[in-house]
Amino acid sequence: MHNATKTKHLPPHNPYGLPNATQTGANTFACLINGKKFIAYNDVNYIGAAFVNDTLIIGGQSKNKNYIENILLKLVNKPTKKEYAIDNMYIFSSLITDSICSGIVFNIYQFSAISGSIQVTKFDTTRKIVAGSFNCIIPIQTCDTLKITEGRFDIIYH
């Protein structure tokens, strides 16, 4: 007799180096900003979501001592599992950075998306898990437009 070997199930290939898209409450928030990785630090002070007064706010911040990058997604009305166009959501990016805009240093500003969408793939009110994907374009007058692609989140909300 020979021993049966078990095959490991590996996560799907991820060429961008971002966390895989999950729906388990893994507390992940990540995307590409103009092709560069943005991965929120997995800590209660850097990543989170809240559902208050029929508004869902999801956000993540990188952990970098030299600059702040923060992305917030805001959905008005109780989300369902569907795609939301830009007219039903708000995406903000607040930052002090010289990492994206070629040496330009900002004070804290909020920049709003002009196009994009959020796809809610899980909104579990019992286990308090919200998961999905997002993409958008945020114009910034003083530097290049931010093209946010491959966005994904899987967060336990409060």
First to last CA, the chain: 53
Distance, in Å, from the CA atom of 100 to the CA atom of 142, rounded to the nearest integer, reads 11
Q: Is 120 left (phi over 0), alpha (psi -120 to 50) or beta?
A: beta
> Which tokens belong to 154?
């899987």
Distance, in Å, from the CA atom of 90 to the CA atom of 41, rounded to the nearest integer, reads 22
Q: Residue 85: which H helix or E strand, with range?
A: strand 83-85
Over residues 7-57, the pLDDT tens digits come to: 444 455 567 789 999 999 999 999 988 888 888 988 777 889 998 888 888
Whether this prediction's pTM lies above 0.85 is answered by: no
